[in-house]
Structures are given as C-alpha cells and as structure tokens.
C-alpha cells in the first residue's frame, strides 16, 4: 500500500469529497458532523503537507494513528495536533452517534502568519499529539471553535482577520492548558528548529551528525549541547528516533515488506536496517510487524 500525499487542503478535501467548500485563505474549518462515516472508511495511510487540529467529543467506535501511535477515544473530549508529513490512518469500528467537534486545517503560510513564536509546544514529532480535555477546557475551546466556524462560513470582508484572531487565541489557550515548555535561549531554540527541519528533509540520504552540524555551520559538540539542552537527547539519537518512528509507521500501517521499508528509509542493506531496528526496539522489524498486525 503506497502512502498517499496531499500537498494542499483543497487537494485533500477533493480527494475525500469532504465538502463542496474551498478555502483561499490557508485556514479551513470543517464541522465533524459534515463528515460521513464512509469517508473515514476510505482513508488509507497518508500524509499531508499542512497542519491539522482536531477538537472532538463523543467519539467511541473509532481509532486513528498518528505516526506509529494508535488512539482509541472513549467518548472524552480531546485535542489532537498533526504536523505536516506525519503519517495518519483512520478506521471506523462502529456507528458514530452523537459525535461533535471541528477539524481545522492550516497551510504552512497561514501558520507562519499566526506568529506563535518559538516556544509554541505543539506540532513536534517528538512530543505528544493527543490531549484529553477537562469540561472547563472543552467549553472554552468549543466556544472559540464555533466563532472560527462562523467567521469561516461568512466568507465576508475581514472574515479572515476574525478567523485568524480566534485561531491565535485558540492555539495560545491550548498551549496554556498543556504548558510543558521550558525556558531555553532563543538561539538554541532557533538552531534546534533548523536541525529538526533538516533531519525531516534529509534523513533518508544523510544519517550522520557531522552532516547536520556542517549544514548548521556549528561543531558537532555545539549541536550535541543544543539538543541535550532543548530535548534531552543526543543529536544522533534524535536522528535515529525520526527514522525509528517512520519505520514503525510504515511497518504497521502499510503493506510494505521489511526490505521495502529498509530501502525507502535509505538503508543500503536490509541487514543493516534490521540491526538498527532491533538495537532500539529489542526485536527484528519482521517480528514487530507480525505482532502489531496480529493485534
């Protein structure tokens, strides 16, 4: 099974026939009640080139995967953040009665214009994507989401400014609710963000710390100090974790063989990939695939 890629929100909306609406502003709000169960049934493994925010409650017989982590909500209100390029799958297990909520798609340019700053904690692959909300948090975020949906539907002059303002408040409130940011220097955060972006772009071709340090015009020692300070791990482990997360996702959520996954991730030899995977997971990739496929 190949991974489907969608470069824009409208491509994604068209592919799944979610709605007749389109957006030229870079921000798209979809009421979950507009989405048919049949849509989710048709969603195979895919990745999008834009940001996604899910605010949902009352969902039971349904599960979804972000990268290699599977979530199965039990009716609680939850908030989920999906960054560009993260692998996703959705599966409907039964009737979805009483589900409420909104799905928000934000393209990269629109997200940049939100100017959330370097301390914004979400949309990072090494951090949690799924958050359960208290009743008070749920009420506050749903009220903001309703205002966003109204502004989106209005499609009138200045509606985009209103939509953008409410989205900024929504995301800042979310960050306050789940505040795990640490006080770091701006310089270190900027370099860490550049390092993270480079790894996501280049990990198939380049797996050495020396390459990334050279691209950032710093020493490997400086890079190690920055990653330890910001995320508490070595730069090599960060690179390996990106590869490991991608390999787990492909092994579990696609029909690729171990060999196909190995070559897709840039390993010249399957044996090298198997040793790498077993070093961190404790079992070879073929056994990991078999265990997860069998539930």
Could you tell me if 73 and 203 lie in one domain?
no
Give the CATH number of the domain where residue 262 resides. 1.10.10.60
Per-residue pLDDT at 20:
58
Average pLDDT over residues 66-94: 84
Per-residue pLDDT at 186:
64
Q: What confidence category does residue 32 fall into, taking pLDDT thresholds of 50, 70 and 90?
A: confident
Could you tell me if 163 and 33 lie in one domain?
yes
> Rounded to whole angstroms, how far apart are CA atoms 219 and 242?
21
Could you tell me if 100 and 190 lie in one domain?
no
- pTM (2 d.p.): 0.60
Which residues does 97 contact at the CB level (< 8 Å), separation at least 6? 58
34-72 residue pLDDT tens:
776 566 555 677 788 899 999 999 877 778 888 878 888
Q: What DSSP element (H or E) covers 227?
A: helix 220-230
Displacement of CA 115 from its chain's centroid (Å): 19
Domain end call among 177, 198, 233: 177
> Rounded to whole angstroms, how far apart are CA atoms 17 and 36?
10
Could you tell me if 222 and 137 lie in one domain?
no
162-183 residue pLDDT tens:
999 999 999 999 988 876 444 4
Percent of the chain with pLDDT over 70: 82
Full residue range of the structural domain in which residue 199 is found: 186-293
- Half-sphere exposure of residue 224: CA atoms within 13 angstroms, side-chain side: 8
Could you tell me if 10 and 134 lie in one domain?
yes
Average pLDDT over residues 17-41: 71
Inform me whether the pLDDT recorded for 93 exceeds 60. Answer: yes
Per-residue pLDDT at 36:
62
The H-assigned helical ranges of 88-184 are 108-113, 135-154, 159-177
Could you tell me if 215 and 236 lie in one domain?
yes
> Rounded to whole angstroms, how far apart are CA atoms 40 and 142?
23
Give the CATH number of the domain where residue 53 resides. 2.60.120.280
What's the chain's average pLDDT?
84
Could you tell me if 160 and 190 lie in one domain?
no
Could you tell me if 216 and 112 lie in one domain?
no
Per-residue pLDDT at 15:
64
Domain end call among 145, 177, 209: 177
Per-residue pLDDT at 59:
74
Provide the domain count of the chain.
2
233-271 residue pLDDT tens:
999 999 999 999 999 999 988 888 999 999 999 998 999
> Rounded to whole angstroms, how far apart are CA atoms 28 and 145?
12
Could you tell me if 36 and 133 lie in one domain?
yes
Domain end call among 153, 177, 201: 177
């Amino acid at each position: 099974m190949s991974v489907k890629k969608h470069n824009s929100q409208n491509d994604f909306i068209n592919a799944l026939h979610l709605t007749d609406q389109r957006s030229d502003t870079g921000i798209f709000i979809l009421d979950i009640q507009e989405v048919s169960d049949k849509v989710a049934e048709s969603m195979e493994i895919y990745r999008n080139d834009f940001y996604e925010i899910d605010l949902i409650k009352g969902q039971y017989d349904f599960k979804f995967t972000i990268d290699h982590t599977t979530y199965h909500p039990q009716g609680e209100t939850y908030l989920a953040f999906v960054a560009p390029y993260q692998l996703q799958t959705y599966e409907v297990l039964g009737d979805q009665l009483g589900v409420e909520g909104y799905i928000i798609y934000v393209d990269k340019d629109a997200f940049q214009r939100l100017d959330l700053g370097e301390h914004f904690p979400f949309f990072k692959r090494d951090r949690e994507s799924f958050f359960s909300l208290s009743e008070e948090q749920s009420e506050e975020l749903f009220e903001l989401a309703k205002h966003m949906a109204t502004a989106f539907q209005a499609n009138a002059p200045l509606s985009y400014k209103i939509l953008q303002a409410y989205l900024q408040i929504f995301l800042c409130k979310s960050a306050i609710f789940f505040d795990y940011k640490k006080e770091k220097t701006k310089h270190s955060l900027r370099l860490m963000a550049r390092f993270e972006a480079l790894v996501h772009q280049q990990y198939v071709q380049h797996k050495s710390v020396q390459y990334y340090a050279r691209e950032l015009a710093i020493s490997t020692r400086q890079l190690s100090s920055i990653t330890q300070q910001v995320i508490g791990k070595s730069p090599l482990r960060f690179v390996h974790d990106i590869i490991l997360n991608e390999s787990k996702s492909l092994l579990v959520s696609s029909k690729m063989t171990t060999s196909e996954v190995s070559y897709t991730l840039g390993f010249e030899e399957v044996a090298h990939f198997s040793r790498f995977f077993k070093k961190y997971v404790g079992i070879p990739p073929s056994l990991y695939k078999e265990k997860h496929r069998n539930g």
